[in-house]
Amino acid sequence: MEEIDSELIKEAYAQFGLCIYQIQCIEKSFAISIIQNSFDNRSISSAQYDYELSKLFENTLGQLLTKCTKDNIKLPNEIAKEYDSILEKRNYIVHDYWWYNSDSLTSNDGFTILISELKSLNAYFENLDELVSIENEKYLLQKGIDSQKLEAILIEILEGKRKGRNKQRVLKKKENIINCYIYMIDIDKGNALLVVELDDNLLCTIGDNGLIPIEIDKSRLTLIRKMEKYLPAESNLGPSVSRYWNYYIDLKTRVRIKVYTKDMVKGVIWKIEYPK
């Protein structure tokens, strides 16, 4: 049996790892395209942006491409026409690559062929990711966020001066609320944020279409004592929303959280309606 050059083995696996990385990059880029498109006509917080993006990150590439088609995401034709090919190549790499090419692992020539193919696939995915990223950057420019601001943020992250948000779990349609709090935003104006705590101690606040996770200092929260006798209680965290920022969250203990607004400039109003 032919002795395989160890450097060829290392190079093949390195190129395969890079290919997986490029696939993950393009998955994230498509997710960003989808979320930017969905928020064009919505007023949301950075916490909701992060949460909804994290939900999209749970999707497979196939699911993301389906959403791109369904939501009519505006991407250049050279990208849109590649959807089937992108998915086919991704599935080949992730599910079938080593099995399909097992015969090539027995010779130096075989490894050389694999390395060449993987380099070609890396270039393919890298080019597509760059094209999608350019479209995403164009969107940000329209919103007043230029490339210099983006670069500055990236430098802060790399230097450890700016921390990213922790990965948050996706909320279920029904969750158990164990506590309700008030977080004062502006004491003089009486502006307060509603914060609820779930049975795994995850903190959430109101978004434009239901509750969303939030990272907040729990020591700055004030417990709503009146709610204690109605908790813990199961609630519907995915209410039916006919209009953004206008919905109810119902608890099984017959308490209802009402979220509404008449004018986004004046802000969002929330109140707790107790059983009569």
Helix (H) or strand (E) holding 194: strand 191-198
If we measure between CA atoms, which residue out of 32, 94, 97, 95 comes closest to residue 67? 32
Beta carbons of 196 and 81 less than 8 angstroms apart: no
Please tell me whether the overall predicted TM-score, pTM, comes out greater than 0.75 for this model. no
Task: Name the 3-class secondary structure at 37.
Answer: helix
Provide the pLDDT confidence category of residue 155 given band limits of 50, 70 and 90: low
Beta carbons of 216 and 183 less than 8 angstroms apart: yes
pLDDT (average), residues 167-186? 87
* Tokens at 162, concatenated: 């700016």
Provide the pLDDT confidence category of residue 73 given band limits of 50, 70 and 90: confident
Provide the pLDDT confidence category of residue 245 given band limits of 50, 70 and 90: confident
Query: Where does 67-187 show beta strands of DSSP type E?
Result: 174-186
Task: Name the 3-class secondary structure at 262.
Answer: coil
Q: pLDDT tens digits for 87-110?
A: 999 999 999 999 999 999 999 999
d(CA 68, CA 62): 10
Beta carbons of 66 and 121 less than 8 angstroms apart: no
* C-alpha distances out from residue 230 to 129, 202, 205, Å: 50, 19, 18
Q: pLDDT tens digits for 159-175?
A: 555 454 556 678 888 99
Amino acid occupying residue 215: E
Cα 11-98-90 angle, rounded to 5 deg: 90
CA–chain centroid gap for 183, Å, is: 25
What φ, ψ does residue 265 adopt, rounded to 5°?
A: -65, -35
The partner residues of 274 in beta bridges, in order of sequence, read none
